[in-house]
Amino acid sequence: MRLRVVGAVLLSAAAYYVYVPLPSGINEPWKLMLLDALLRSLMQAGDVAHSLGLCHRAHLLNQIVYWVEVIEAQSCSAVNVTDSVLGGMPARIFQPKKGKKLKRGVIYFHGGGWALGTARMRTYDLLCRKMAEDLDAVIMSVDYRLVPDATFPTQYYDVLAASRAFLSPQVLDRYSIDPGRVCVSGDSAGGNLAAAVVQELSADDSLTVKFKLQALIYPVLQALDFHTSSYQQNQGVPIVYRPAIVRFWLQYLGADPALEPLLLANNHSSLDQPAISAQTRSKLDWTALVPGEHKKNFQPLIRETGTPEVLAKVPGLVDVRAAPLLAERGVLARTPKAYVMTCEFDVLRDDGLMYARRLQDAGVTVSSDHYEDGFHACMVFSFLPMLSDVGQRSMKNYIRWLDQNL
């Protein structure tokens, strides 16, 4: 009897920890709750290790990721998989063994808040393997340096170097890639890096080969407004919470973590900030750029006065290489045809919606793929054990778009 009581108490405690109130429209909520409970536990363990001075929280989390998720490069009957170097960066290369002699090509950047993850993770390995087979394309999944060992603009320069190498005649010839059918893609922080890279390279007239497509998966694109309608609506929705995004930004930009409350309150983007012009503000005005059905009744949070020294301490907040949404219209106009995936239950939803709108306004053809039941990072959960219906749908539609346009 005593064991039953203890068991019931432990089960109740576990259920209490796992349960998170979720919007009714979210896909397979209990799977998301279980995943969120696991991630929260890991994040809390990282915070404890960090506060005790044992190691940086990102080091601990990545060590766990490596233990659990990293797999060796293993070829199969359809795809040859190897680990190599691209522009000085480690990369996992996926080459179809059959199909056309001249292949399509995709360079891919993984997500993880510029601090976590690797191209060698099982989820990314399976995604790129499927892309290679279904598209008959060479996929190069790149590992860039991570926080805390590297901060902005190091990650940007890493993926820029890898992208230049990817587009070089030597690499295209070596892997039999059609120079007219190449794409840059990435998810979350990787989507941020992909957008920044394609802006830079599209404006580089010295290049003989340029990207035909850009495919951005729930990208993070700005750090001036943490009270967009999606940040307000989804601040309590897993798997990425609003404070976590702010922390990732501060880590990426090499800033003092004590600034987190100021950014959460939008004090860094108040109207008395001389470094933020009216033109800059218009580039992320979600009240004008986000469709009405997503804005609902949320209202913007605009501070009259704030903390002016924040932008002086963290200039990366207004650096277009870190925040591609701030790019000028002329820069956007030179970028290639775009695919932008967004999810309704994602704090970053409006970043993607605003970018898609700004690309369209600049004359770029954009395919907006929005999932009303989706959540952040859903696409990488397209395989067991965290298989989700919206994950499978989003992955299939992403690959289908690439197949039809690349």
Which is the catalytic residue, given 376, 382, 388, 394? 376
Question: CB neighbours of 65 closer than 8 A, spacing ≥ 6?
Answer: 116, 117, 118, 121
Environment class of 347 (CB within 10 Å of its CB; exposed 0-12, middle 13-18, buried 19+): buried
Which is the catalytic residue, given 187, 346, 350, 373? 346
Question: CB neighbours of 258 closer than 8 A, spacing ≥ 6?
Answer: none
Structure tokens at 202: 């599209």
- Judge whether 50 counts as a catalytic residue: no
Q: Which helix (H) or strand (E) holds 311?
A: helix 309-313
Environment class of 203 (CB within 10 Å of its CB; exposed 0-12, middle 13-18, buried 19+): middle
Which is the catalytic residue, given 188, 229, 230, 394? 188
Report the amino acid identity of residue 125. Answer: D
Question: CB neighbours of 177 closer than 8 A, spacing ≥ 6?
Answer: 102, 103, 104, 105, 138, 171
- Judge whether 346 counts as a catalytic residue: yes
Cis preceding linkage at 239, omega within 30: yes
Query: DSSP labels for 236-270?
Result: T-SSS-HHHHHHHHHHHTT--GGGHHHHHTTGGG-
Phi, psi of 228 (to 5 degrees): -65, 170
Give dist(CA 56, CA 48) in Å, integer.
Answer: 10
- Judge whether 75 counts as a catalytic residue: no
Helices (H) and strands (E) in the chain, counts: 17, 8
Print burial letters for 119-142: b (CB count within 10 Å at least 16), e (below 16): bbbebbbbbbbbbbbbbbbbbbbb
Give dist(CA 395, CA 392) in Å, integer.
Answer: 5
Q: Are 155 and 112 in contact (CB under 8 A)?
A: no
Q: Are 316 and 259 in contact (CB under 8 A)?
A: no
Q: Are 186 and 219 in contact (CB under 8 A)?
A: yes
Instruction: Give catalytic residue positions.
Output: 188, 346, 376
